[in-house]
Amino acid sequence: MYFGLSEDQIFFQENVSKFLEDQANLDVIRAITEGDAGETQKEINSGLVNLGLSALLIPEEFGGLGLDLLFATAVSQSLGGGIAPISYTGSFVMAPLAISHGGSKKQKEEYLTKMSENSIRFGVGFSEYIGARDGSAIEIKNNKISGRALFVLDAKDASHLMFADSTGVIGIVASDSPGVEIIQLTAVDKTRSYSEVKLDNVDVDVLELTISSNNAINKSIDGGRIILAADSIGASQRLIDKAVEYSKERKQFGRVIGSFQAVKHMCAEMTSDLEPCYAMVWHAAHCFDNSPGEARLMACHAKSHVSDISKVIAKKATEVHGGMGFTDLMGVHYWFKRIGVNRQALGAPEVVREEAAKLQNF
């Protein structure tokens, strides 16, 4: 039995990769991270939205494409490989999942319809629920929200912000509401945005079904973790490709370094380590929509395992490049940093493995 991506998923994936190759090459990414890109980043985002990224997980009744998480996962691999400088995990995956599973009919009609039209965009801050830190508590009470959220995904240029308290209740606020302060964090990975948000007695629209159930926030976090794992797989594969290409060109002692056994072994080890990760992440994405009993556990396994494997690949790929791997000229560090941030976002491996252990009553 073949288990892999469908022709439609591969076709969509290839379209995204081709778009990024044409519109977001290494020079463009470098300009964006240095703050010299002007409107280029917005144009890239608009182009990807035109391909349908913002509507992937939104049901057809609200104007979306009504596709499953496996489709979004396939796209995420391409975004990681192309180090796409766009908001995806929070805006296009976690937010629609949270609203679809936790919103009332009225809330779905209001938010999902506008999201499918790309007239609103979300930043997502669930750090209080995943792993609260001192001085960063979020309190939702009497249709008001106060507190401080760290590591909010995709808050830059977002029209709305989504937060959760420690019990899993999710609330939505307009980013321009009085009492909202958004502070852009200086992230290692400058291709995406991470923010700190302070809230002072702000009006909040609480997703109705989240008051009595944690299903919505768990589905949103599980989906986000699988998407981040897929992004790291895409970035890891690109690093392997770059390492192999470099090893065929770089010469030492009159021979290309790819002919040296040590370099061959490093490239082979990276490939053999990454290959099983594809099936693992695809299976996790399949379980998300088709096997509720396995979904959370597989999301935890995929996120934690890929985080560790991609970290090792990032290190080895840099080593294959030698001293050049540490320079801006080769651009290896963009994928390296993306993998590093993905590893920590929505729970570091040790945090996610602890969740997996609790799910299995260890």
Specify the DSSP class assigned to residue 210.
G
Residue (of 232, 251, 233, 235) closest to 324 by Cα position: 251
| 351: CB partners within 8 A, 6+ apart | 130, 131
Residue (of 210, 137, 109, 205) closest to 168 by Cα position: 210
CA distance 339 to 313: 10
Specify the pLDDT at position 16.
Answer: 94
- B/e letters for 87-126, b = 16+ CB within 10 Å, e = fewer, are bbbbbbbbbbbbbbbbbeeebbebbbbbbbebebbbbbbb
Amino acid at 109: E
CB 244 within 8 A of CB 258: yes
CA distance 314 to 318: 6
CA distance 106 to 307: 38
Specify the pLDDT at position 57.
Answer: 95
Specify the pLDDT at position 128.
Answer: 84
pLDDT in tens, 182-239: 998 877 888 888 899 999 999 999 999 999 999 999 999 999 999 999 999 999 999 9
Specify the pLDDT at position 132.
Answer: 63
Q: Nearest-5° angle of CA 351, CA 301, CA 97?
A: 85
CB 187 within 8 A of CB 340: no
Q: What share of the chain is helix, strand, coil (3-state, %, to 5)?
A: 60, 15, 25
Domains and CATH numbers, the chain: 7-116 (1.10.540.10), 122-211 (2.40.110.10), 215-359 (1.20.140.10)
Specify the pLDDT at position 185.
Answer: 81
For the chain of 362 residues, list the mean pLDDT of each consecutive stretch of 10: 80 94 91 80 89 93 94 96 92 95 95 92 90 75 91 90 93 94 84 90 94 94 97 96 88 79 89 95 95 94 96 94 80 92 92 93 86
